[in-house]
């Protein structure tokens, strides 16, 4: 029998109910409750909680104490007695109407140690944070980023690293379809900490994205990626709500599998960001997927995402950073500071002692891999500032507010990102967001503007050559149900209009395939050696001609030809990229794979394939 390599792990959802009980300050006399304890009083100040102003005046009268702080809504004061604080506290705690008497309790500011001033180059360990303007982003935007998710497709992450642990990230292993993202390579942990390491846990480093949530995806076991795992990682991030996907990886060739994954992200209006490459001193080759996101020859104009180069502490291009017509912009990438996985090699990831840090591992490293996640974090903050922005608007704002002043050059694209400036522009940029919910031949469209200037909306669909075709000229509604013929993919767009009928903003296209899309299923055999053992496997790939259709969690049935009849052997669920893998046992077999239809996809059978196992 065939053994399934990738088995879906069961999700366990735990509903946690938190009871919030109101704290009511008693208006009747208390029973002389106090947290005062005899002994040496630790402070010259005494904190008193009281039931009424009259009770407080009575308790303090004639005791030689000065009120140095008031919180009247909380019925609490800070008092400095003229004599011994311990004696004063003991005396006052027994008075009628005094709820509690306590010394002040010390609290420390949750400042990230890596951001504190230090006698190191750049003035702090995490010098790149200030250079990109991330330290000047308004606190409310940093907090609002909690609603935004960043997908990090990499070598996994050390979930015990303080700045990642604090985020409690969603995890996925695209190699074996599990939740295990143990990072023995170290790359993914460093990248994740730069993009969205916790900025409020008072430990280690601070990611650019503030409180944004993380999706950590392991697509590499030994520092090497294939397009299969890359595509599965991108699809999983998109399917689980990521608005930004970071790809700190690349190579000199692309593939249709990779292109399909990027098109899927584009169809869902997800911004994909990729590192531009580190081979400037070794021929400066064009790197993919960066050159798919910002096409060669585009000179920074348009594109489907962002290709990011690296700079030094001075803002100049790092010597290793690739350059050319596919560079979108840049971020610090030489000797940047981040979190290190405890499971990684100390030789490859030297540890640096971080004063003020009580746990976790930290260090410096270089590469465009570490410039890209800072841009990903910045993109998340733009959505935190204005959730109605489209991915294209976010990319354009980051470009136009970078250090180049709107001018592009092949060294750094539009220049080094300025996060604070980009956030400010995002807050004041009119935008309209469009969402689509479909069922068979019907789609429900809903939209929302970002300003108070909207007076109406216009609904359009894009024709074969992206020309506008008006469906609804003007409506004050915020939703519309469309019925259409099945099988086709439609691109819907909504525009917000002011009182004079002028266009304020235009949404990103929402791609919707109505009815059942065509699907196909292929089986491909592979043989390889690993640690002295030989393996024979068959990879099944489910494909669809609809960019918006999910390929994950589809059941594939494997059958074997025996004595002239096809017989069931096994079944397996596809991963996020539509892939299944079976190990071929010893012997020779003729097999085929079958996908039964769903509401979104037509049925598909693979061709019969004869395979042999070792």
Active site residues: 154, 187, 369
**Shortest CA distance to 369 belongs to which of 456, 442, 308, 298?**
308
- Across the chain, how many H-helices and E-strands are there? 12, 30
Q: Return the axis-axis angle of helices 187-196 and 372-385, rounded to nearest 10°.
A: 30
**Residue 17: how many CA atoms within 13 Å on its side-chain side?**
2
Q: How far apart are CA 227 and CA 537, in angstroms?
A: 17
The β-bridge relationship of strands 244-247 and 468-475 is unpaired
CB atoms within 10 A of CB 296: 14
Helix axes 227-239, 256-267, angle to 10 degrees: 10
CA atoms lying within 13 Å on the CB side of residue 325: 6
Radius of gyration of the chain (CA): 30
Q: Under DSSP, is residue 141 helix (H, G, I), strand (E, B) or coil?
A: helix
| Degrees to nearest 5, angle at CA 80 with 56 and 74 | 45
User: In whole angstroms, how far apart are CA 581 and each of 30, 174, 479?
Assistant: 70, 12, 42
Number of residues that this document lists for the chain: 614
Pick from 276, 273, 279, 281: nearest CA to 410: 276
User: DSSP secondary-structure letter at 469?
Assistant: E
Q: Where are the beta strands (DSSP E) in 440-515?
A: 442-449, 456-462, 468-475, 479-483, 489-497, 503-506, 510-513
CB neighbours of 72 closer than 8 A, spacing ≥ 6?
none
Secondary structure (H, E, C), 372-423: HHHHHHHHHHHHHHCCCCCHHHHHHHHHHCCCCCCCCECCCECCECCHHHHH
Three-state SS for 512?
strand
Give ∠ CA 269-207-138 in degrees, rounded to 5: 80
Nearest to 50 by CA among 91, 103, 99, 95: 99
Rounded CA separation 253/405 (Å): 33
Q: How far apart, in whole angstroms, are the C-alpha atoms of residue 285 and residue 264?
A: 26
* DSSP letter for each residue of 206-265: --TTTT-EEEEEE--SSS---HHHHHHHHHHHHHTT-SEEEE---BS---HHHHHHHHHH
Q: Which of 229, 205, 231, 203 is nearest to 218 (CA)?
A: 229
The DSSP result for 81-135, as a single string, is ESS-HHHHHHHHTTSTTEEEEEPPPP------GGGS--SSTTSSTTHHHHHTTGG
């Amino acid at each position: 029998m065939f053994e399934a390599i990738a088995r879906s792990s069961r999700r366990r959802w735990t509903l946690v109910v938190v009871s919030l009980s109101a704290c009511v300050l008693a208006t009747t006399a208390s029973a002389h409750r106090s947290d005062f304890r005899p002994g040496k009083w630790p402070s010259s100040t005494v904190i008193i909680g009281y039931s009424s102003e009259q009770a407080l005046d009575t308790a303090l009268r004639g005791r030689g104490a000065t009120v140095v702080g008031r919180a009247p809504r909380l019925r609490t004061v800070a008092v400095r007695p003229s004599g011994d604080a311990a004696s004063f506290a003991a005396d006052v705690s027994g008075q009628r109407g005094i709820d509690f008497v306590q010394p002040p309790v010390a609290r420390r500011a949750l400042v990230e140690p890596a951001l504190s001033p230090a006698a190191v180059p750049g003035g702090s360990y995490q010098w790149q944070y200030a250079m990109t303007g991330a330290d000047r982003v308004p606190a409310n935007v940093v907090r609002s980023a909690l609603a935004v998710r960043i997908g990090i497709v990499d070598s996994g992450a050390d979930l015990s690293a303080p700045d990642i642990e604090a985020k409690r990230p969603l995890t996925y292993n695209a190699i074996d379809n599990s939740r295990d993202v143990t990072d023995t390579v170290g790359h993914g942990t460093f990248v994740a900490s730069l993009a969205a390491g916790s900025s409020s846990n008072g430990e280690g480093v601070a990611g650019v994205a503030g409180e944004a949530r993380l999706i950590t995806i392991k697509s590499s076991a030994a520092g090497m990626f294939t397009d299969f795992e890359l595509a599965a990682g991108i699809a999983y991030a998109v399917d689980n709500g990521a608005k930004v996907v970071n790809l700190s990886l690349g190579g000199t060739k692309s593939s249709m599998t990779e292109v399909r994954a990027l098109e899927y992200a584009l169809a869902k209006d997800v911004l994909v960001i990729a590192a531009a490459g580190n081979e400037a001193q070794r021929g400066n080759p064009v790197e993919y997927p960066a050159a798919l996101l910002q096409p060669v020859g585009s000179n920074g104009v348009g594109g489907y995402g962002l290709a990011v180069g690296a700079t030094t502490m001075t803002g100049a291009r790092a010597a290793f950073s690739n350059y050319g017509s596919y560079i979108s912009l840049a971020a610090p990438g030489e000797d940047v500071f981040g979190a290190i996985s405890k499971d990684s090699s100390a030789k490859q990831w030297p540890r640096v002692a971080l004063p003020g840090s009580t746990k976790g591992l930290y260090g410096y490293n270089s590469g465009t891999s570490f410039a890209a996640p800072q841009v990903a974090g910045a993109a998340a903050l733009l959505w935190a500032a204005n959730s109605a922005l489209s991915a294209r608007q976010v990319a354009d704002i980051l470009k136009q507010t970078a250090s180049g002043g709107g001018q592009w050059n092949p060294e750094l694209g539009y220049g080094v990102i300025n996060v604070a400036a980009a956030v400010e522009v995002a807050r004041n940029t009119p935008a309209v967001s469009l969402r689509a919910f479909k069922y068979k031949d019907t789609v429900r469209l809903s939209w929302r503007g970002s300003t108070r200037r909207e007076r109406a909306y216009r609904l359009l669909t894009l024709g074969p050559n992206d020309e506008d075709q008006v469906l609804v000229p003007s409506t004050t509604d915020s939703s519309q149900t469309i019925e259409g013929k099945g099988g086709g993919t439609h691109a819907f767009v909504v525009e917000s209009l002011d009182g004079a009928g002028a266009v304020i903003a235009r949404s990103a296209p929402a791609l919707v395939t109505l009815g059942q899309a065509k699907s196909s299923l292929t089986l491909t055999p592979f043989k390889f050696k690993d640690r002295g053992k030989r393996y024979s496997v068959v990879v099944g790939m489910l494909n669809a001609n609809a960019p918006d259709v999910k390929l994950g969690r589809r059941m594939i049935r494997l059958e074997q030809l025996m004595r002239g009849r096809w017989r069931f052997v096994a079944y397996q669920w596809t991963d996020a990229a539509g892939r299944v893998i079976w190990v071929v046992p010893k012997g020779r077999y003729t097999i085929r794979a079958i996908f039964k239809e769903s509401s979104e996809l037509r049925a598909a059978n693979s061709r019969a394939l004869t395979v042999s196992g070792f």
